[in-house]
Amino acid sequence: MNSNLLADTSRPNPVAPALRSKAELRAALADARRDGRSIGLVPTMGFLHEGHLSLVRAARAECGLVVVSVFVNPTQFGPGEDLDRYPRNEDRDLRLAGEAGADLVFAPPVAEVYPEGFCTAVEIAGGLTEVLDGDPSRRGPGHFRGVATVVAKLFNLAQPDAAYFGQKDAQQAAVIRRMARDLDFPVRIEVLPTVREPDGLAMSSRNAYLGPAERERATALSRALATVERCAREDALGIGLEAGRRELLEAGIEPEYLEARDPDTLERVKALGDRPVLVALAAQVGPARLIDNVLIHPNT
């Protein structure tokens, strides 16, 4: 591979090069593919934090070449959502990605991903995109249509051996797993644990919207989930959901949802049995809509 297309490791802080076009990305990956090196893909919308970087490091440990995509995907934002103000800092992203082990960053303009006349979308049915964030009264199934479409395009462009996602976006991960299975993408989907701040707040690019008081209130999300998990392990999942809701209300937070679901099918779950249970939560805290979850494994 052309060394000019790799992160500059001669600098104290390596910077990953940014590729803007699909043709550049394919050309940059061609040599690695011919050499038999495995390719790892980390799809992101940028404004990287430690959660993203944990995925990059995991990809670096397992793959011969690591690509990070940085693309704020307009098709997964609905009317009135925060597309225009979503935090962006490309220079910082290139530095952090390089330091974490990325070889390349694919950062295309919108017109490169959705050229004029683009009219195709990937739709995931089966109940995965109509609940939780996909409920029509919330973000709606169109959100996941946008997610699935852009990830399918990234899979086609990069043809990765493995793609890395975070557990914080559990519904997104379920949708991507189903898409990869149903459409026969030859890619291994790796979902890594949520990375949290020392006070328990799940790391998110949207945490940048929070002021100090809102930031403190937001820690109630992880406390609520911990309460639900504790009760679920005592055979009281329903009581735990009620207690978790009270924890949020005491912090002045009205949850959009706090629900127990099967992590693969997203069907409702009433008790902790012999399969893991996903307890998912979304809430507006000041200007930030935050999501979080806990995956409760059966007692052993």
Residues with a catalytic annotation lie at 52
- Residue 168 CB neighbours (<10 A): 21
List Cβ<8 Å contacts ≥24 apart for 187-190. Answer: 187/41, 187/155, 187/159, 187/160, 187/161, 187/162, 187/163, 188/161, 188/162, 188/163, 189/162, 189/163, 189/165, 190/58, 190/162, 190/163, 190/164, 190/165
H or E, element range at 175: helix 170-182
- Residue 243 CB neighbours (<10 A): 15
**Torsion angle (degrees, nearest 10) of CA 291, 294, 295, 300:** 180
Residue 202: strand pairing partners: 196
223 touches 247 (CB < 8 A): yes
- Secondary structure of 244-261 in HEC code, one letter for each residue: HHHHHHHCCCCEEEEEEE
